[in-house]
Amino acid sequence: MDVNGLTILCYLSVVTCAVLAVAVINFKIKLLRQKQKNYFLKRDRQRYAETIFASKDGYFAFIYPDTAIKDPLKTTKERCSRRLAVMLDLKNGIQSSFEDVLSVFYKEDAERLKKYLALMQEEGVTFEDTFTLKTTKRGIRVFASRINALDGNLYCDMLWFRDLSAEQIKIEDMEEQCRQKDTYIKMLEDLIDHLPTPVYLKDQHRKLTVVNKKYAEFLGVTSKKELLKEHEKSEWEKASDKLSKLASETNQPQKKNVQIVLGGTAHYFEMKETPFHNEEKLDKIGISGQLIDMTELSEVKRHFKVHQNAHLEVLSALGTAFAIFDSKAELVFYNKSFVDMWGLTPEDLEQKFSFSSFLDMIRNKRLLPDISDFKEYKKNQLELFSNLLEAKENLLHLPDDRTLRRLVSPHPNGLIFAYEDVSDKLAAERTIHELENVQKSILDNISEATLIFEQDGRLKYFNTAYLRLFKSDIKMLQNLPNIMEVFEMQQFFFKKVENWNNLKQHMFHHIFEICAPFKLELDDASIIDVKPLILPDETIMVIYNQ
């Protein structure tokens, strides 16, 4: 072979090697890309599988051979998820067959599930139903789904299993809450239906939404629902609408007195309506209302007014001076004796006459006792209108030598003041007191022992001569014992008497029953003449003369 042929052969060898090298490199690149593609496909399958495994539902899949190609998978393949194996506590885990799944259900449920599956596999009908586990009695919800390719090729049939335990607990809790709310609503309904007064509720449009049984009875309706519909309103319902509007506009509670005829008899009620924020929204103001029966109170007030007028008429006719000042210390009633006692004129009484001005007036007329601090006195007197709880009595010694007994007492309208001139009475009492002192002085200086008893037999007076005669304990006599106790104190001088009780009865008979003199013989044989006398004031004086 010549040189040229050898050169050409070398060139061809080089070119062939280069082509082979390029082909090898290209094959390796394609192989690398295919491996990379297969890696991502495998990873995607794992991702999708793990995504399905992460579902709270377990599944059992029936995977069918691919009809679009010659699939090496000749028969249907069953696959059990990890979640399903755990949920149903399957002994074979993810290797469990569908028969293993059926075995955990009651026989009837298992047969029903097999029929559902057959219907889906044969006719493509999916289903959803609930089954019960034999061991735990838990409910299992089964959903069926069929997976097809875009070209219509059937991939698999899936049975999804969901544990209803959590949902069932939630449902039961919700049902229990509903029962409790229903019970509470029924209790509230019973509460308002058994209230003795009508109550009602209105929405932000002032339309009735809730009424109680008493409200329906007032309108003569048996069904409360009928009242919530449009109906011809009574006069007091129309008054309620006006009051509701006022309460809603002012956002303040309102009340009104209304008259309602029930059973042919007029009754008086106080209608109260209170606004509130409906649904806790400031722009929605609802109204709650009630009717309070004031019939008895109105009747009491009427009788009270009648009795009060009669009472005032009696006060007007009495000689004692009376005046009534209300809670604001304004004069609301007086009788003629009050006017005469204080020298008031018609002009005084025509103007607004208060207790304060009354005090100023009688002070100017020098008809008040001498008071060093009139301002403080006046303040204390005006405070009676706020703190006097019971009648209070005192004497007023006026500069004109009159003495007045003043009685201040609470009155429904304020305070009632009663003034009585007791000057003569006090003078008479002083005279009587002086006479009694003279009488006591005389009795203490006579030699005869003397006792004076009241009509009820209680000791009123004793003198020193009696103390000396019967050696009596002065403290015991000062306690003013009754006559039988006085006799017991004398027993020391009658120890020889065989029947002491008879002697006591003898003395009592002569002193209190026949008021006749008698004699007593003491143990020392001395004789005492006892002489009882009835005095003008019907007391009994007993004189012991030895």
Each residue's pLDDT, cut to its tens digit, for the chain (546 residues) gives: 566 677 777 777 777 887 787 877 887 777 777 777 666 666 656 666 566 655 678 999 998 887 666 666 667 889 998 899 998 999 999 999 999 999 999 999 999 999 999 999 888 889 999 999 998 888 899 999 888 877 778 888 999 999 887 776 677 678 888 888 888 888 888 888 888 888 888 887 778 878 888 877 777 776 777 666 766 677 777 788 888 888 888 888 888 888 777 766 777 788 888 888 766 666 677 888 888 877 766 666 665 555 555 455 555 445 588 888 888 888 888 888 888 888 888 777 766 688 888 888 888 888 888 888 888 988 998 888 888 888 888 888 888 888 888 889 888 778 888 888 887 777 666 766 766 676 777 777 788 889 999 988 899 889 888 888 888 888 898 899 999 999 999 888 988 888 999 998 999 999 888 889 999 888 888 899 999 998 888 889 999 988
Q: Same domain, yes or no, for 21 and 107?
A: no
- For 203, phi then psi, to 5°, come to -85, -170
**Residue whose C-alpha is closest to residue 448's, from 434, 435, 461, 467:** 467
Residue 520 belongs to a domain? yes
What's the CATH code of the domain at 231? 3.30.450.20
Query: How far from 380 is each of 359, 405, 419, CA to CA, in Å?
Result: 12, 18, 19
Return the sign of the alpha-carbon dihedral for residues 495, 500, 504, 510. negative
Distance CA 543, CA 534 (A): 12
Burial of residue 70 (number of CB atoms within 10 Å: 0-12, 13-18, 19+): exposed
- For 215, phi then psi, to 5°, come to -65, -45
Q: Same domain, yes or no, for 267 and 333?
A: no
Q: Same domain, yes or no, for 50 and 63?
A: no
Q: Same domain, yes or no, for 49 and 100?
A: no
CA–chain centroid gap for 96, Å, is 66
CB atoms within 10 A of CB 98: 15
Distance CA 494, CA 10 (A): 185
Q: Which amino acid is at 459?
A: L
Distance CA 271, CA 255 (A): 5
Query: How far from 86 is each of 51, 170, 425, 427, CA to CA, in Å?
Result: 17, 22, 112, 115
User: Got the DSSP string for 42-92?
Assistant: HHHHHHHHHHHHTSSSEEEEEEPPPTTTT-S--S-EEEE-HHHHHHTT-TT
Q: Same domain, yes or no, for 49 and 60?
A: no
Distance CA 407, CA 395 (A): 9
Q: Same domain, yes or no, for 216 and 156?
A: no
Burial of residue 275 (number of CB atoms within 10 Å: 0-12, 13-18, 19+): buried
Q: Which of residues 374, 406, 421 is at a domain's end?
A: 421
Return the sign of the alpha-carbon dihedral for residues 356, 362, 363, 369. negative
Q: In the chain, how many domains are there? A: 5
Q: Which of residues 12, 36, 54 is at a domain's end?
A: 54
Q: Which of residues 39, 54, 69 is at a domain's end?
A: 54
Range of the domain at 357: 307-421
Strands 331-334 and 321-326: antiparallel
Query: Which two tokens mark 283?
Result: 């722009």
